[in-house]
Amino acid sequence: MTPTLAGRIQTRLALLGTVGVVWTAIIGLVLGRPYRALFTALLIVAVVGIAWEVLYHAVQQFRWEKDWPTLLGLVVAVPEGIATWLLLKAGIPWDVGEVPAGTFLTMFVTVWLLVWAIANGPLQIVALRWRYRGGRFLGGW
Amino acid sequence: MSVDHGDITDRLVETSEWTDQDLLAHGIPINDVPFVSIGGGVGSFAMVDLLRIAGVGVSRIRVISDLDTPSQTYEYLASNSQIRPDHRLRSDSGSVIDCPWGWPGYALRESWASKRPGAAAQVLTEPLLADWYTPTAGQVYASLHRESQRISWPSVLWPGVARHVRKRIGGGYFVLFTPPDGAAETKRIAVRCRFVHLAVGYPGVRFLDDLQRYRATHGDFQRVVNAYEPHDHVYAEMRQRPCTVLVRGAGIVASRVLQRLIDDREQHGAQTTIVHLFRNYPTGPQGDKATFRRPATKGWVYQGFNFPKAAWGGQLRDRLEGLEGRERAALLDQLGGTNTAPRRYWRDQLERGGARGFYRQARGVVQHVAPVEVGRQIRTTLTNPDGSTGQLDADFIIDATGLEANIEEHRVLNDLLTHAGAGRNPKGRLDVERDFRVRGCDNGDGAMFASGSATLGGYYAGVDSFLGLQYASLRIHDALAAAGFGTRIGVRRSVSQWVKWARNVAP
């Protein structure tokens, strides 16, 4: 992918707000419906993710191709997952009670893989111009 | 003055804008089609593919071309430059010329078809842990052929050679073309249209001046060859006897030619000695800051594709769109220029060649090329980097420096510059807007568009690539839809058409 900063943020919010919400609702059924915790985690990934995207964009500046290789889109799940877990445990933005690590991990990893897979191709079926606009949905050409 | 029935006259050619009556008086039949694409190669294909997906019927589109299939010229040039159907192009997995959505890409399809995960794994880990994935030429041709059948390409094709595109007094344009001998009652046929799309490709092969002079002076077209013209006889002879070959150029074609030469040596017993002449010889990374630095070593400049990836659809595309004039040309030069793909196989070959002495690099600026006095070799006299004069003798010279040629060498483009108000961009090519509309050529409610190599120097870098042609098509489609031609492809149409594409049913 060759995202711009605006494109990164828009894509993250759009995919988490659609695919992420639907999938979290579905996987929540399997995990015993700890929805308060799961959707808080999703919110953290979305909101704190904006800061992560600024960091990734900065890292991208050191790549000649100004691209974001597919593999990096997977690798960054590790620090983001850890940060999200720590925030959740610290009660930020609010206390969600006890969350088993396995529950969080199942939700986080499946959401991440799904969003990553969709962003790496199938999204273009819905949004034909998205890849040329650096991942932006809004703001014209 | 007598007029051949159905032919043009000097007077008509010298008249910049034509009326219907001008053509009728010459006995030239006029056909009405709203949209005409000239070229018929991959550029026209990308345009028509998108229009058909946008719901434009075959009766409203015509392509004027002397090519039988859209990939004909591409295949010819690729094959000459030693990329045969089972070899890999320099193209991204997602630059899927038969599928404007870009998914599934070539890598996934290759893995699916072969039931082997290699290609998918490569695209997953490129370029960090593996070379960039690139599709085989044969896969691209086969899928392009399939898509051209799906969109009824043969039905939109009008065989012929376009001669003139002229503004029509009253709006729109006339496209005048010459049908094949005996195919029509008149020598010329005119099309009256509202929109014209030019995708004429390269006017010709560019030869280095000194090699051009050598060929013209000595009439030797066998031993001094261009990599884009048929030159298999060179490799055949080098398999027969030990030869020295001088390769000029340091781009992707030079890389491919060197691979062929070394493969022949290592796999077919050729005893070829390769001298590789560089005009510029970078020894370290290019660029003055850490955020703008391109790897370069041993004369080669490396990047995945002919421009950095983000030039096709990321921050570099955005940046170019905001630049004008010399600034834009300068950035294009920095992002493009002569470069090749960083492939491990090629690097290993050259390392072996250097170590075993059959591949040698030379640097310098060529003064002239002439036959040696005794024997059959050709002598290249050059100025070495230290200012001294040097000589390189070889049995063959392969010019692998490029395809570029001036746009005025193309008859239709030259005609546009002279008669239709078209101008040049900062790199001397056809000046187009961000949506690929040819500047200065609007006429009434009509508009003229161009895509492909003729537009290099405009607001988009990768014009001469599969993805670039698809990008241009999409921009043109949006402009056409805004002008009332076709319906803009939105979410619903995009999805429903992708399903049709996947099922291989007509759009």
Distance between CA B328 and CA B453 in Å, rounded? 16
Is position B317 within any domain? no
**Cβ of A67 and B123 within 8 Å?**
no
**Residue range of the domain that includes B247:** 209-283+340-399
DSSP character at residue B14: H
For A80-124, how does the pLDDT look when each residue is reduced to its tens digit (9 = 90+)? 999 999 999 999 999 999 999 999 999 999 999 999 999 999 999
**Residue among A70, A121, A131 whose CB faces B313 most closely:** A131
Residues B102 and B230 reside in one and the same domain: no
Distance between CA B35 and CA B192 in Å, rounded? 9
Residues B275 and B377 reside in one and the same domain: yes
Q: How many beta-carbon contacts under 8 Å exist across A and B?
A: 99
Which residues of chain A make contact with B498, given a CB cutoff of 8 A?
Answer: 125
**Cβ of B318 and A134 within 8 Å?**
yes
**Residue among B104, B304, B494 whose CB faces A128 most closely:** B494
Residues B30 and B46 reside in one and the same domain: yes
The CATH number covering residue B360 comes to 3.50.50.60
Residues B273 and B390 reside in one and the same domain: yes
For A40-59, how does the pLDDT look when each residue is reduced to its tens digit (9 = 90+)? 999 999 999 999 999 999 99
Q: List, as one string, the DSSP characters of A42-96.
A: HHHHHHHHHHHHHHHHHHHTTSTT----HHHHHHTHHHHHHHHHHHHHTTSSS--
Which residues of chain B make contact with A131, given a CB cutoff of 8 A?
Answer: 94, 102, 313
**Cβ of B101 and A124 within 8 Å?**
yes
- The answer to whether the CB of B482 falls within 8 A of the CB of B445 is no
Is position B328 within any domain? no
| The pairing of beta strand B224-226 with beta strand B195-198 | unpaired
- The answer to whether the CB of B160 falls within 8 A of the CB of B179 is yes
Signed CA dihedral, B365, B369, B375, B377: sign only: positive
Question: Distance (Å) from the C-alpha of residue A19 to the closest C-alpha of chain B?
Answer: 16
Residues B167 and B20 reside in one and the same domain: yes
pLDDT in tens, chain B (507 residues): 444 679 999 999 999 999 999 999 999 999 999 999 999 999 999 999 999 999 999 999 999 999 999 999 999 999 999 999 999 999 999 999 999 999 999 999 999 999 999 999 999 999 999 999 999 999 999 999 999 999 999 999 999 999 999 999 999 999 999 999 999 999 999 999 999 999 999 887 888 999 999 999 999 999 999 999 999 999 999 999 999 999 999 999 999 999 999 999 999 999 999 999 999 999 999 998 999 999 999 999 999 999 999 999 999 999 999 999 999 999 999 999 999 999 999 999 999 999 999 999 999 999 999 999 988 999 999 999 999 999 999 999 999 998 777 899 999 999 999 999 999 999 999 999 999 999 999 999 999 999 999 999 999 999 999 999 999 999 999 999 999 999 999 999 999 999 999 999 999
Residues B346 and B378 reside in one and the same domain: yes
From residue B101, alpha-carbon distances to A12, B67, B502 in Å are 20, 26, 11
Is position B329 within any domain? no
Q: Which residue in chain A is spatially nearest to B316 when comparing CA positions?
A: A66
Is position B489 within any domain? no
**Cβ of A128 and B489 within 8 Å?**
yes
Which residues of chain A make contact with B315, given a CB cutoff of 8 A?
Answer: 2, 4-5, 66, 134
Pull the structure tokens for residue B130: 């593996």
Helix axes B491-503, B42-53, angle to 10 degrees: 120
Q: Which amino acid is at B376?
A: R
Residues B270 and B416 reside in one and the same domain: no
Q: Which amino acid is at B414?
A: N
- The answer to whether the CB of B64 falls within 8 A of the CB of B88 is no
**Cβ of A122 and B103 within 8 Å?**
yes
Which residues of chain A make contact with B502, given a CB cutoff of 8 A?
Answer: none
**Cβ of B495 and A129 within 8 Å?**
no
Residues B218 and B270 reside in one and the same domain: yes
Among A86, A79, A76, CA closest to A115: A76
Is position B130 within any domain? yes
Is position B455 within any domain? yes
Residues B367 and B385 reside in one and the same domain: yes
Q: Enter the pTM of the model.
A: 0.97
Residues B39 and B95 reside in one and the same domain: no
Give me the number of domains chain B comprises. 3
Residues B381 and B432 reside in one and the same domain: no
- The answer to whether the CB of B476 falls within 8 A of the CB of B458 is no
- In which element (H, E) is residue B248 found? strand B244-248
Q: Which amino acid is at B357?
A: G
Which residues of chain B make contact with A66, given a CB cutoff of 8 A?
Answer: 308-310, 314-316
Identify the burial level of A71 via C-beta atoms within 10 angstroms of its C-beta, where 0-12 means exposed, 13-18 middle and 19 or more buried. Answer: middle
Is position B493 within any domain? no
Is position B333 within any domain? no
Residues B431 and B468 reside in one and the same domain: yes
